[in-house]
Amino acid sequence: MTQNFLKVPTFTDNQDEQNRLTANAINGLLDGKLNSTGSITLTNSSTTTTLDDARIGGDSMILLMPQSSDAASENWYITGIDKQTATINHSSDTTTRTFKYVVIG
């Protein structure tokens, strides 16, 4: 699940409207409203889960926040960060382990 915040057009014929949209976007950023979050559930009975997100690039940092005690006790690390994808390495388990995530960079 990704958040879809209003994108600012790069150009409009109405300069006042352009300024308003730009100011709203900047104010949203200052309030922490980044369009860089999502949610992922680790694949059960597997040791890897692929995170597919168009915002991921080779230099991205991906932060995970567990959403349950099972997720919080999971040992995981991320490899294979590339264009639009990363691999989360984890234990093979049958419990549901869901994380919220943020992609930076």
Burial class of residue 42 in the structure, from the number of CB atoms within 10 Å of its CB (0-12 exposed, 13-18 middle, 19+ buried): buried
**pLDDT at residue 1 in the model:** 47
**pLDDT at residue 24 in the model:** 85
Instruction: Report the b/e string of 58-72 with b at 16+ CB within 10 A.
Output: eebebebeebeeebe
Distance (Å, rounded) from C-alpha 35 to C-alpha 59? 17
* pLDDT bucket at 76, cuts 50 / 70 / 90: very high
Find the mean pLDDT for residues 36-46: 95
Find the mean pLDDT for residues 23-27: 87
Q: Which of 9, 58, 65, 59 is nearest to 37 (CA)?
A: 65
